[in-house]
Structures are given as C-alpha cells and as structure tokens.
Amino acid sequence: MNDVLIVNWNSIIGKDDIVFHLGDFAFCGVTKAREIKEQLNGKIVLIKGNHDYDSTCKLFDDVYQQLHINIEDKSIYLNHFPFASFPNNCYQLFGHIHLCKGENVNKYNLNSRQYDVGVDNNNYRPVSWIEIKKQIN
C-alpha cells in the first residue's frame, strides 16, 4: 500500500512543488514515517490531523493546526476536519472523513464550497488546485 501511494504521489508532485498535506500523514511509528517522507517529492506543509503526533510532526519544517491561504482570487481554509461554517466567499479543504468517490456527501452536511482532498476521494493520489476548482465548480 505504501509503495503504491509513494509512486502515485511522485507521479504528480515535482521536486519543487509545495504540497499542503491535510493531516494523518502516516499511521505508524516515527521511523517508518520518516522513511516514507524521505521518498516523497515536494515540500510538504503539514496541517496536523488527529493521528499526527508530536514525534511525526517533527519531521516537517512547517506544521499548522489550520491555515488560511489565497490562490489566484480564492480565499481557502485548510484544516484536517471539515468546518460547519465559514465565509461565503471562500473554499474549505479537509481530509478527515475519508469520503469515497460517489459516496453521498449529504450525510456529512457539507456544502458545495468544501472538498475532501484525502486520497480515498481522489484515486489514491494528491489533488491539484486545478482539479479542486473543477470539482467544486
């Protein structure tokens, strides 16, 4: 499983790309997490998930509980968990609930400006900003 996820990651992420990982980087010990991280392309900014412990977080230069960024003309809130409420003029990206393609998202009370960027929902690959815009729109 890990080998496939690493290949999928590196097939999309370049050496100089910046990746916002929205939590639960690795459900294993710090030694294995380091081994996985060292094989991944790009600079990873970790938004801490409920399974990201202090020992694993130390593997990253940039770790946040949540982050607000702007890309193009969009305001974007990044968090591990989906928000119940946020401003109308922005998007909210998350990963915690492990949606699967085609699953009924209504049971989670999500709105059209939220998107699950987790690998379960994205063919076990990272998802680009271009793809996120396409999915939300």
Full residue range of the structural domain in which residue 117 is found: 2-136
Pull the structure tokens for residue 98. Answer: 């492990």
Which one-letter amino acid corresponds to residue 39?
Q
Question: Which residue is associated with the tokens 């998202």?
Answer: 105
How far, in Å, CA of 65 to CA of 14, rounded? 25
Question: CATH number for the domain including 48?
Answer: 3.60.21.10
Spell out the residues 6+ positions from residue 39 whose beta carbon is closer than 8 angstroms to its own. 6, 10
Q: Which two tokens stand for residue 81?
A: 């968990």
Q: What is the model's pTM?
A: 0.91
Strand 74-79 vs strand 66-71: parallel, antiparallel, or unpaired?
antiparallel
Tens digit of pLDDT at every position of the chain (137 positions): 999 999 999 999 999 999 999 999 998 999 999 999 999 999 999 999 999 999 999 999 999 999 999 999 899 999 999 998 888 899 999 998 876 666 666 667 788 899 999 998 899 999 999 999 998 88
Query: Looking at this protein, which amino acid is placed at residue 87?
Result: P
Domain count, the chain: 1
Residue 65 has a CB neighbour count (10 Å cut-off) of 9
What's the number of CA atoms in the CB half-sphere (13 Å) around residue 13?
A: 23
